[in-house]
Amino acid sequence: MARTVILGAGIAGHTAALHLRRMLGREHDVVVVSPNSKWNWIPSNIWVGVGQMQERQVLFPLAPVYRRKGIEFHQALAVELHGEGGTGHTKPYVTVRYTDPQRSGQTAELEYDYLINATGPKLNFGATPGLGPDGNSWSVCTAGHAVEANKALHEAIARLKQGQRQTFLIGMGHGTCTCQGAAFEYTFNVEHELVKEGVRDRADVIYITNEAQLGDFGMDGMNFGAAGGVMTSQAFTESFFEERGVKAILGVHVEAVEPNLVRFEALDGTKGEQAFDFAMLLPPFRGADLKAFDADGNDVTGEVFAPSGFMKVDADYSPKQYEEFAAADWPRTYQSAKYDNVWAAGIAFAPPHPMSRPRVTPNGTAITPAPPRTGMPSGVIGRAVAQTIAERVKHGKAGKVHTASMAEQGAACVASGGKGVLSGKAAAMTVYPIVPDKAKYGANGRDTGKTFGELGLSGHWMKVMLHYLFIYKAKARPLWFLIPE
């Protein structure tokens, strides 16, 4: 009998748990540890944040799904990893602290044969003074955050209807943020709502970002195959901004978010500020801050995790200049750099370096988008890690190792530009590979025959379809596993 413990129940962890349970007999234990009691389809939080969906439409409770599938569930936060075991333990174990209201604050030690770290990101609002719902801006990172953002948004719309001009500032709250796509979506959903409410002419909509140019998305931009040649994602995105009258502040690090005012530093080292009446600014991410200890109780956190808190895996972490970045630097198996029975899936793994060109101001401030690892890549990685563990359980070290390098897989993204039955828009984009490979594909870095973008109502309906399809899959309804990650 083998016991696999999965830390986290987001896209990567939940996907891994369901596939493991499907691939292994009930004599083997699959255990999920998550501080949250509910699963959240995060891509639709943007619609909650503008009032086009209710919170209940993007959430469902995890416990009934796990009970039905025979998965052990602990609503708890993992705080310590003991990868070599320790006194009183015959196996490695993790220490967890319960967040379940009925056991809140209690701790437990869960032994494992295999471990998947799928803890996802810690929302690091503290990196920028005044950033976040407890400060002076709003967020759509969680469903609860999105509900509050929607209330504030409609208060601003009400002021517009009273004749007061309003400025809406949306984007990145720090120079090292990722998830530019989510900020892009929220920007244009807000703009769409303003048009629907008949108040667009009294509103200024401004996108603020650490991207050096529009369309970078933390991926060093994209080159879309198009009739007659190649269209850059920069040109594709700029046309959308121009069409909708949205301004952009590019290449900045937000230093502080004060009441109704953002202070920032630009790439040339100059300082600036932007007043606002409503601000939704995303935070940078860091790892879950798990501590790691050896069998004697010595702290080995630095050997297991990068300074960012994300887990070191089979990547090349040697320092490199942008011109030396290579597709081969990126992990393939996501196995821990220290333990051969531990993997990191989804956002929990430490990337070897950014995809976009790292930039530093003359003052030494980093303004570099972190590489995206959310959505489709997280699901694909979660499934691959689950397949590797299932093979190991069945065949030992001779089992097949499944790989899912982001430099060898493509991804599809549908970015909403506003929700409406006939007026909705979305940018449907595919990219292959996710990580640029200039050695294979030249200066473009990607296969332009498989990398393309299209904007329109059809993309909106595709995003709506994906919302319901992936919630169906996450609930493990009949034949759920036939739906791709």
Whether 227 shows a pLDDT value over 80: the answer reads no
In this predicted model, what pLDDT tens digit does every residue of 50-60 receive, in sequence order? 999 999 999 99
- 366, β-bridge pairs: 360
Half-sphere exposure in the Cβ direction for 43 (13 Å, CA) = 23
Q: What is the pLDDT of residue 455?
A: 83
Q: What is the mean pLDDT of residues 133-154?
A: 98
Q: What is the pLDDT of residue 121?
A: 94
Q: What is the pLDDT of residue 5?
A: 98
Q: What is the pLDDT of residue 267?
A: 98
What letter does residue 366 receive in the DSSP assignment?
Answer: B
In this predicted model, what pLDDT tens digit does every residue of 345-403 receive, in sequence order? 999 999 999 999 999 999 999 999 999 998 899 999 999 999 999 999 999 999 999 99
Q: What percent of the chain has pLDDT over 90?
A: 89
Q: What is the pLDDT of residue 23?
A: 98
Q: What is the pLDDT of residue 252?
A: 98
Whether 229 shows a pLDDT value over 80: the answer reads no
Whether 225 shows a pLDDT value over 80: the answer reads no
Q: What is the pLDDT of residue 448?
A: 87
- Which residues lie closer than 8 Å to 146 by C-beta, 6 or more apart? 45, 46, 48, 49, 55, 139, 140
Q: At what angle do helices 233-244 and 180-196 cross, to 10 degrees?
A: 20
Q: What is the pLDDT of residue 381?
A: 97
In this predicted model, what pLDDT tens digit does every residue of 293-347 receive, in sequence order? 999 999 999 999 999 999 999 999 999 999 999 999 999 999 999 999 999 999 9
Every domain of the chain and the residues it spans: 3-122+288-398
**Residue found under tokens 């900045």:** 252
Q: Residue 433: is the preceding peptide bond cis (ω within 30°)?
A: yes
- Which residues lie closer than 8 Å to 183 by C-beta, 6 or more apart? 170, 171, 172, 207, 209, 280, 282
Q: Which two tokens stand for residue 20?
A: 């493991």
Mean pLDDT, the chain, whole residue set: 96
Residue 276 — very low, low, confident or very high, per pLDDT cuts 50/70/90? very high
Least confident span in 117-126, 368-377, 465-474: 368-377
pTM of this prediction?
0.96
In this predicted model, what pLDDT tens digit does every residue of 411-446 receive, in sequence order? 888 889 999 888 888 888 889 999 999 999 988 899
Q: What is the pLDDT of residue 228?
A: 67
Q: What is the pLDDT of residue 149?
A: 98
Q: What is the mean pLDDT of residues 253-279?
A: 98
Fold exhibited by the domain 3-122+288-398: FAD/NAD(P)-binding domain (3.50.50)
Whether 468 shows a pLDDT value over 90: the answer reads yes
* Region for 220 from its dihedrals, namely left if φ exceeds 0, alpha if ψ lies in -120 to 50, beta otherwise: left
- Distance CA(286)–CA(308), nearest Å, equals 5
CA 333 from chain centre, in angstroms, equals 19
Least confident span in 35-44, 293-302, 455-464: 455-464
The answer to whether 212 touches 369, Cβ cutoff 8 Å, is: no
Q: Which residue has the higher pLDDT, 223 or 48?
A: 48
Q: What is the pLDDT of residue 452?
A: 80
Q: What is the mean pLDDT of residues 182-204?
A: 97
Residue 137 — very low, low, confident or very high, per pLDDT cuts 50/70/90? very high
